[in-house]
Amino acid sequence: MTFRIHLASQSPRRRQLLDQIGVRHELLLPGDDEDAEALEAVLAGEAALDYVQRVTLAKLEAARLRLARRGLPPLPILCADTTVALDGRILGKPADAAEACEMLTALSGREHQVLTAVALAWPLPDTRAPLLRLSRSTVRFAPIGPERIAAYVASGEPMGKAGAYAIQSGAAAWIEHIAGSYSGIMGLPLFETAGLLREAGATV
């Protein structure tokens, strides 16, 4: 039987990355009755490493409950979350253009960390613990002038992106150096994801 999973993510990049390694998947997205954004709220004093793992597991549990409610095929569920950290500060998705400009200005000429957690769980009532992996990468931006930041923000690309940028967008022209996982910075580290899927019985 072909191994298939549910992907609990609205990110088209994660779908593309799963396609890249030949993983068949069905989307398992939140309904109108769910407040998905509330799961991403940062707790007071929370470190970025703790945050990204906690949020990923919270999204995964919400997806397990969603699957049970909808009565969909009982396939394993994959979930991921990405955050950007600068000097210990968590840079999530910007609320508006002004915040996006502020984030990119802070990243200009600096190194920052990109953390992506990916987790897989089995449908309820299975009691096996979720499988979790973490990808850590370092990205260094060249200095970016305010005009270039303003133009990028005006394009709308920063919205919905942790740290207000996407590595596969025009922001790639600002990146001097990467240490880590390119796919992890995109939002789904393929090495770690493939390991999870093999552990669950897939051929990747």
Residue 7: pLDDT band with limits 50, 70, 90: very high
Give the pair of three-digit tokens for residue 100.
């996006």
Position 179 pLDDT exceeds 50 = yes
Dump pLDDT digits (tens) for 142-154.
Answer: 999 999 999 999 9
**d(C-alpha 43, C-alpha 51), whole Å:** 8
What average pLDDT does this structure show over 76-86?
A: 97
2 confidence band (pLDDT: 50, 70, 90): low
If you ran DSSP here, which 8-state letter would residue 96 be given? S
Q: Is the pLDDT of residue 204 over 90?
A: no
Contact, 7 vs 25, CB < 8 A? yes
- Do 193 and 21 touch, CB atoms closer than 8 A? yes
Residues 31-51 have a mean pLDDT of 91
Q: Are 79 and 8 within 8 A, CB to CB?
A: yes
| Average pLDDT, rounded, for the chain | 95
With contact defined as beta carbons under 8 Å apart, do 141 and 106 qualify?
A: no
Q: With respect to residue 204, please indicate whether it lies within any of the assigned structural domains.
A: no
* pLDDT at position 26: 95
Angle at 139 between CA 136 and CA 144, to 5 degrees: 155
Active-site annotation holder among 33, 81, 96, 126: 81
Q: Is 126 among the residues known to form the active site?
A: no
Per the domain annotation, does 186 fall within a domain? yes
Tell me the pTM. Answer: 0.94
In a domain, 192, yes or no: yes
Is the backbone of residue 88 left (phi > 0), alpha (psi -120 to 50) or beta?
left
For the chain, the maximum distance between any two Cα atoms, rounded to a whole number of angstroms, is 54
Q: Kindly report the CATH number assigned to the domain that includes residue 163.
A: 3.90.950.10
Count of all residues that appear for the chain in the document: 204
Domain count, the chain: 1
Two tokens, residue 61? 């549990």
Measured CA to CA, the distance from residue 137 to residue 159 in angstroms comes to: 21
Query: Which tokens in the block code for residue 60?
Result: 């995964």
Spatial contact of 188 and 18, defined as CB atoms under 8 Å apart: yes
Domain that holds residue 22: 4-199
Nearest to 8 by CA among 58, 83, 69, 71: 58
pLDDT band at 1 (very low <50, low <70, confident <90, very high): very low
